Structure 1
Amino acid sequence: MSGFDLAVPRRVLFGPGRAGDLADLLPPLGRRVLLCTGRDPSRSRSLLGGVDPVAVVSVPGEPTVDGVRAATREARDAGVDVVVAIGGGSVLDTGKAVAALLGNGTDPLDHLEVVGRGVPVARPARPCVAVPTTAGTGAEVTANAVLAAPEHGVKASIRSPHLLAAVALVDPLLTLTCPPEVTASSGLDALTQCLEPYVSPQANPATDAVAAAGLRRGARALRAAYERGEDRGAREDMALCSLFGGIALANAKLGAVHGLAGVVGGTVDAPHGAVCAALLAPVVEANVRALRAREPDSPALCRHAEVARLLTGRDDATVEEGVAWLRETVAALDVPPLGAVGLEPAQHAEVAATAARSSSMRGNPVQLTDDDLLGVLRAAS
Structure 2
Amino acid sequence: MTIPPFGLTLPGEIRFGRGAAAEAADRIAAMGARVLLVHGADAGRAEWLATALAARGVLAACVACPGEPDLPTLEAALDEARAAAPDAVAALGGGATLDLGKALAALLPSPTPARVHLEVVGEGRPLTADPLPLAALPTTAGTGAEATRNAVIGVPEARRKVSLRDARMLPDLALIDPALMDGAPRGVTLASGLDAVTQVIEPWLSTRANPMTDALCRPAIPRGLAALARLAEGEDAGARDDMALVALTGGVALANAGLGAVHGLAGPLGGHAPGAAHGAICAALLPHVLAANAAAPDLSPETAARLETLRAMLRETLGVADWAALAEWTRAAGLPGLDALGLDPAEAPAVAEAAHAASSMRGNPAALGQDTLERILDAAR
Using structure 2 for the length normalisation, give the TM-score. 0.94
Question: The residue matched to 2:62 in structure 1 has which SS?
Answer: strand
Match of 2:129, SS?
coil
CA contact (8 A) 1:123 1:162 kept: no
The change in CA–CA distance for 1:60 and 1:227 in structure 2 (over 3 A counts) is farther
Mapped partners of 2:139, 2:329: distance in 1:
23
Aligned residue number for residue 264 of structure 1: 269
What is the match of residue 350 of structure 1? 350
Q: Pick from 242, 245, 253: which aligns with 1:240?
A: 245
Residue from 252, 258, 274 that aligns with 1:253 = 258
User: Which amino acid counterpart does residue 14 of structure 2 have in structure 1?
Assistant: V
Give yes or no for the alignment of 1:124 onto 2:160.
no
Which ranges in structure 1 are unaligned for 5 or more consecutive residues?
A: none
Structural mapping, 1:1-381, within 5 Å: 1-52=3-54, 53-229=59-235, 231-268=236-273, 269-290=275-296, 293-295=297-299, 297-313=300-316, 321-324=321-324, 326-381=326-381
The amino acid that maps onto 1:331 is: R
Kindly indicate whether the alpha-carbon contact (under 8 Å) linking 2:216 and 2:253 is maintained by their aligned counterparts in 1.
yes
Q: Contact conserved, 1:99 with 1:128, CA < 8 A, in 2?
A: yes
Contact 2:298 2:367 in 1 (8 A): no
- Specify the SS of the correspondent of 2:78: helix
Give the Cα separation in 2 of the matches to 1:294 and 1:221: 33
Q: Within 2, Cα distance between the matches of 1:333 and 1:60?
A: 26
Residue 50 of structure 1: how far off its partner (Å): 2.9
Distance 1:313 1:240 in 2: 20
1:133 Cα deviation after fit: 0.3
1:132 to 1:370, Cα distance in 2 relative to 1, 3 A: same
Q: CA deviation at 1:72?
A: 1.7
Distance 2:186 2:304 in 1: 33
**Kindly, what percent of the aligned residue pairs are identical?**
46
Query: Structure 1 stretch 371-380 or stretch 122-131: which is displaced more?
Result: 122-131
Partner amino acid, structure 2, of 1:61: G
* SS of 1:104 mapped into structure 2: coil
Secondary structure class of the residue paired with 2:339: helix
TM superposition shift of 1:324: 4.5
Runs of 4+ in structure 1 off by over 6 angstroms are none
CA-based RMSD: 1.6
- Retained in 2: the 8 A contact 1:130–1:167? yes
What letter corresponds to residue 126 of structure 2 in structure 1? Answer: P
Aligned length: 373
Report the alpha carbon displacement of residue 44 of structure 1 after superposing the two structures with TM: 1.0
Cα distance in 2, alignment partners of residues 171 and 109 from structure 1:
33
Asked if the contact 1:203–1:252 (Cα under 8 Å) also holds between the matched residues in 2, the reply is: yes
Hey, what's the Cα distance between the residues in 1 that align with 2:307 and 2:112?
Answer: 42
SS at match of 1:244: helix
TM-superposed CA distance for 1:104, in Å, is 2.6
Aligned 8 A contact 1:197 1:248 in 2? yes
TM-score by length of 1: 0.94
Q: Report Cα offsets for 1:214-266 as digits up to 9, x if no partner.
A: 2121111112123212x110100110111111111111101110111111110
CA offset digits 1:56-89 (Å, max 9, x no partner): 1111111011111121222222110111100000
Measure the CA separation in 2 of the matches of 1:358 and 1:180: 30
Q: Which residue identity is paired with 2:258?
A: K
2: CA distance between counterparts of 1:341 and 1:49?
37
Unaligned runs of 5+ in 2: none
CA contact (8 A) 1:19 1:47 kept: no
Residues in 2 aligned to 1:48 and 1:342: alpha-carbon distance in whole angstroms: 36
